Each structure stands twice: as C-alpha cells, then as structure tokens.
Amino acid sequence: MYEVKKRIEISAAHRLSLDYESKCTELHGHNWIIDIYMRSKTLNGNGMVADFTLIKKKITDKFDHKVINDVVDFNPTAENLAKYICDELAPLCFRVDVWESRDNMAAYIAK
C-alpha cells in the first residue's frame, strides 16, 4: 500500500450557523492548514498515488481567499469541511485534517 500526505495552507473566511451565542457566527477568517492523506495499492502511470500539484490546485482554486459560505451549501465547520474535501478527492483520499488554528483541528476519516 502506498500513502501520500499533502499539506495545504489557505486563507479563507467563514461564519458558522450555531444554536448558541458565539463570536463565530460573525464573519471571520483563518489561515487554514489542511492535511490530505491519500493511498492506493498501485501507482498511476507516472509512478504516483496522486500528483501533489493537482491535489493542491483542486482545493486552493475552490477555497483560497474566498468566503467559504459562498462556496458550499452547508455549515462550514472544520468537521464538515474535512468530510467535504475527503469526498472531493475520493476514492484515494481516506483522511483529511482541517486546522483552523494551531490549537484547533478536526479530522474526517473515511471508512
């Protein structure tokens, strides 16, 4: 089994829809760190699990310097973003870690 990890940093804003009072319901930004884990039993014709540049482009084109609420139709929590990114990179992606800050990370691990 081959496995690769790609780390991407994006700058993006979001606001959360919450059922309690929180400053996070206001528009605010993060310098997000996104760790993407992919694996395959075989390598493609170029000898790779996936091209790092193509992984980065797919995520940065969609989210970098954007208001995430304008891009997705769900509450853009770190947890929801992790699953969304993993699904976007399926079937090779099996885990995504989304860091809002150095102390706050959410992960999604596909079955």
Question: What is the model's pLDDT at position 111?
Answer: 83
| Per-residue pLDDT tens listing for the chain (111 residues) | 999 999 999 999 999 999 999 999 999 999 999 999 999 999 999 999 999 999 999 999 999 999 999 999 999 999 999 999 999 999 999 999 999 999 999 999 998
Domain boundaries, the chain: 2-109
**CATH assignment of 2-109, among 2.60.40.10, 3.30.479.10, 3.20.20.70, 3.40.920.10:** 3.30.479.10
Question: What is the model's pLDDT at position 55?
Answer: 96
Return left, alpha or beta for 94; rule: phi > 0 is left, psi -120 to 50 is alpha, else beta.
Answer: alpha
User: Cα–Cα distance between 98 and 72 in angstroms, integer?
Assistant: 16
Per DSSP (E only), the strands in the chain are 2-14, 28-40, 93-101, 104-109
Q: Give residue-wise pLDDT tens across range 14-35.
A: 999 999 999 999 999 999 999 9
